[in-house]
């Protein structure tokens, strides 16, 4: 009887980002992706959100390797943090490893074994038989991964779309997926759910190139700045082709843009003639119509090249009246406000802003319902778990699988921390593991939910500090109470309210020390309770109350 095979989900289910899973067989483990999630407005001061690595740390000796499906940060950005905790070789395409290597080096790590694999390669990693199947996405050389296990093939789609005319000619290999389905069969499908609510089919990336040719044709004599993801090599290629076709030279702005373009050219994935590239410092000396600037920052990141352009603080380039700025992306959920702020700043400086809301300058790299249905029809999986998406995306994808004929008892809707097990009887839940958020705020794990809660209170309600000195023997108040407030009321305009708070605090102190005994902790509790009650009754707000009792 074949041994059971277990799949554990550490991130990416019920959210966009933090994609990370573990496959277990014969007592060994292999990690699939290790991504980050960018903080939302409810996470003040947080830089990044990582998966909880507790389960991986506890089982570090069982891990055979880490497989990366493609080079996006939501799948690779946590690698440097994980490799501080465990030692394991990393497998992926040469481009993905090149993109991930910069994060590993930033973490101060060296000697990490990175092993490049190619399209269609089948490699043994410990007891795991892993096949790398090419898929089309918005970063080149992404993979679907087929794990040939004792319980059958577990197929992870990776992030994918079915683009029949991809820029590099590298299509999603449906033929190989169909071959597996017709032979061994797909025991379990784990598939991208990002666009599961969107009907129809995602358009080809080439359609964006057509738009860029029009943009350059319609704006002769004007400087054009295009912001996109630095990893979107196909988009960069199409922008460069359109610029060169209209007699422009290309300048690169932003550290990751410079790094990724150099890497892609070195690997032969990006073809821009050397004579068509100009240093960003030379742009101001060229006629406006002779240059196109490729920039990072399309998501409105605070210190990105485009944000600094919008605020007039970029040291290498200044936006001028009549410039054309193209934001070639959709705002990641939660980033809409930041992107809007950048667009507004650019408009204030006299730029014409073109974005996905007024022109077809972006196309998704994720499959919509039509393409997902095609994948299910070709793979014909026995069991299915939707991955990569917010809960509503997972739910819609699960329903689509059932509509395509899947047995509803073999379709599991999982969330972060869930484990499932494949046995001869079928698929079922198999417990939970820690999978909470791990916040990066300068240091890993230095911020917990309690700290974030305090930060939200401070941001939304303010703080009131009550300072008083008390004679430890008699309990008499020597000085104070002094009431200091930030973000609650403006003290000079609320003298009566603050005086009432002082009176209430003095009364509370008298009640606590009335028996002739002195208990500092009881006194602090009384001050906090009394101040909080008065503040809430008078202003209907709940600032953080910080009592400071000094014993003399």
Confidence (pLDDT) at 457? 62
Beta partners for residue 30, in sequence order: 23, 65
Reduced to 3 states (helix: H, G, I; strand: E, B; else coil), residue 419 is strand
Phi/psi of residue 190, nearest 5 degrees = -115, 115
Three-class HEC string of 53-65 = CHHHHHCHHHEEE
DSSP state letter for 455: H
Q: For residue 67, how many C-alpha atoms fall within 13 Å in the half-sphere facing its CB?
A: 30
d(CA 267, CA 290): 28
Domain boundaries, the chain: 5-200+364-446, 206-354, 461-551
Handedness of CA 376, 379, 384, 385 (dihedral sign): negative
Query: Of residues 33, 159, 192, 441, which has the active-site annotation?
Result: 192
Whether residue 131 contacts residue 145, with contact meaning beta carbons closer than 8 Å, is answered with yes
Mean pLDDT of the region 363-385:
98
Among 32-41, 63-72, 416-425, 493-502, the range scoring the smallest mean pLDDT is 493-502
For residue 321, which of 346, 347, 351, 287 has the smallest C-alpha distance? 351
For residue 548, which of 464, 473, 459 has the smallest C-alpha distance? 464
Give the dihedral of Cα atoms 245, 251, 256, 262; nearest 10 deg.
70
Whether residue 45 contacts residue 31, with contact meaning beta carbons closer than 8 Å, is answered with no
297-332: per-residue pLDDT in tens?
998 887 789 999 999 999 999 999 999 999 999 887
253-268: per-residue pLDDT in tens?
999 999 999 999 999 9
Q: Is the pLDDT of residue 450 over 70?
A: no
Report CA 506 to chain centroid distance, whole Å. 50
d(CA 425, CA 421): 10
pTM of the entire predicted model: 0.83
Mean pLDDT of the region 536-544:
77
Burial label, 467 (beta-carbon count in 10 A; 0-12, 13-18, 19+)? middle
Distances (CA, A) of 308 to 314, 319, 424: 5, 10, 58
Confidence of residue 475 (pLDDT cuts 50, 70, 90): low
Beta partners for residue 366, in sequence order: none
Whether residue 199 contacts residue 368, with contact meaning beta carbons closer than 8 Å, is answered with yes
Mean pLDDT of the region 450-463:
65
Helix (H) or strand (E) holding 235: helix 233-245
Q: Over the chain, what is the mean pLDDT?
A: 90
Q: Is the pLDDT of residue 515 over 80?
A: no
Q: Which CATH superfamily is domain 206-354 in?
A: Metallo-hydrolase/oxidoreductase (3.40.50.10710)
DSSP state letter for 492: G
Confidence of residue 456 (pLDDT cuts 50, 70, 90): low
Does domain 461-551 fall under CATH 3.10.20.580? My reply is yes
Query: Tokens 């403006």 label which residue?
Result: 490
Parallel, antiparallel, or unpaired for β 443-447 and 291-295? unpaired
Query: Of residues 141, 366, 376, 393, which has the active-site annotation?
Result: 366
122-163: per-residue pLDDT in tens?
999 999 999 999 999 999 999 999 999 999 999 999 999 999
Mean pLDDT of the region 371-398:
98
Q: Of 92-96, 500-504, 515-519, which one has max mean pLDDT?
A: 92-96
For residue 83, which of 111, 117, 125 has the smallest C-alpha distance? 111
For residue 216, which of 226, 205, 228, 207 has the smallest C-alpha distance? 226
- Catalytic, 366? Answer yes
Confidence (pLDDT) at 221? 94
Confidence (pLDDT) at 517? 60
CATH of domain 5-200+364-446: 3.60.15.10
Phi/psi of residue 235, nearest 5 degrees = -65, -45
DSSP state letter for 305: H
Query: Tokens 């007891």 label which residue?
Result: 127
DSSP string, 196-213: TTS-S-PPPTHHHHHHHH
For residue 144, which of 172, 186, 171 has the smallest C-alpha distance? 172
Mean pLDDT of the region 168-182:
97
For residue 531, which of 518, 544, 521, 519 has the smallest C-alpha distance? 544
Confidence (pLDDT) at 460? 67
Q: Is the pLDDT of residue 335 over 80?
A: no
- Catalytic, 407? Answer no
d(CA 88, CA 179): 31
């Amino acid at each position: 009887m074949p041994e059971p095979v277990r799949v554990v989900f550490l991130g990416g289910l019920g959210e966009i980002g933090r994609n990370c899973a573990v496959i277990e067989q014969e007592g060994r483990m292999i990690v699939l992706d290790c991504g980050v999630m960018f903080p939302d407005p409810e996470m003040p001061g947080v830089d990044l959100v990582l998966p909880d690595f507790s389960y991986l740390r506890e089982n570090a000796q069982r891990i055979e390797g880490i497989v990366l499906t493609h080079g996006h940060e939501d799948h690779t950005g946590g690698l440097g943090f994980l490799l501080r905790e465990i030692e394991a070789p990393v497998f992926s395409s040469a481009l993905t490893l090149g993109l991930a290597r910069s994060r590993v080096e930033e973490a101060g790590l060296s000697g990490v074994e990175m092993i490049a694999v190619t399209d269609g390669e089948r490699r043994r990693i410990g007891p795991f038989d892993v096949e790398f199947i090419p898929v089309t996405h918005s970063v080149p050389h992404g993979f679907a991964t087929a794990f040939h296990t004792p319980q059958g093939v577990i197929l992870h789609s990776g992030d994918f779309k079915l683009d029949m005319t991809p820029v590099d000619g590298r299509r999603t290999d449906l033929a190989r997926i169909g071959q597996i389905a017709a032979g061994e069969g797909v025991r379990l499908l784990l598939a991208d759910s990002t666009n599961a609510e969107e009907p129809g089919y995602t358009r080809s990336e080439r359609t964006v190139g057509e738009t860029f040719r029009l943009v350059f044709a319609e704006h002769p004599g004007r400087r054009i700045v295009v912001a996109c993801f630095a990893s979107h090599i196909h988009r960069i290629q199409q922008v460069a082709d359109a610029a060169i076709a209209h007699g422009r030279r290309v300048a690169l702005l932003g550290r990751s843009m410079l790094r990724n373009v150099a890497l892609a050219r070195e690997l032969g994935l990006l073809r821009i003639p050397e004579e068509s590239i100009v240093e960003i410092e030379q742009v101001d000396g060229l006629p406006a119509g002779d240059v196109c600037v490729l920039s990072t920052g399309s998501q409105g990141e605070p210190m990105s090249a485009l944000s600094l352009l919008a605020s007039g603080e970029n040291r290498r380039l200044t936006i001028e009246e009549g410039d054309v700025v193209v934001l070639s992306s959709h705002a990641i959920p939660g980033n809409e406000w930041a992107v809007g702020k950048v667009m507004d700043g650019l408009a204030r400086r006299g730029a014409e802003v073109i974005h996905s809301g007024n022109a077809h300058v972006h196309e998704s790299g994720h499959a919509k319902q039509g393409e997902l249905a095609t994948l299910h029809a070709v793979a014909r999986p026995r069991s299915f778990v939707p991955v990569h998406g917010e809960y509503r995306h997972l739910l819609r994808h699960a329903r689509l699988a059932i509509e395509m004929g899947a047995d509803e008892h073999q379709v599991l809707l999982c969330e972060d921390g869930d484990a499932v097990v494949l046995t001869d009887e079928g698929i079922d839940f198999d417990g939970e593991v820690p999978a909470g958020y791990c916040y990066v705020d300068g240091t890993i794990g230095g911020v917990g939910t309690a700290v974030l809660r305090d930060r939200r209170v401070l941001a939304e309600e303010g703080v009131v500090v009550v300072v008083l000195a008390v004679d430890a023997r008699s309990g008499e108040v020597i000085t104070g109470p002094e009431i200091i407030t930030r973000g609650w009321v403006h003290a000079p305009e609320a003298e009566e309210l603050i005086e009432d708070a002082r009176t209430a605090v003095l009364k509370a102190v008298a009640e606590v020390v009335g028996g002739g005994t002195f208990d500092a902790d009881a006194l602090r509790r009384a001050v906090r309770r009394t101040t909080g009650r008065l503040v809430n009754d008078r202003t209907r707000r709940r600032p953080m109350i910080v009592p400071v009792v000094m014993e003399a």
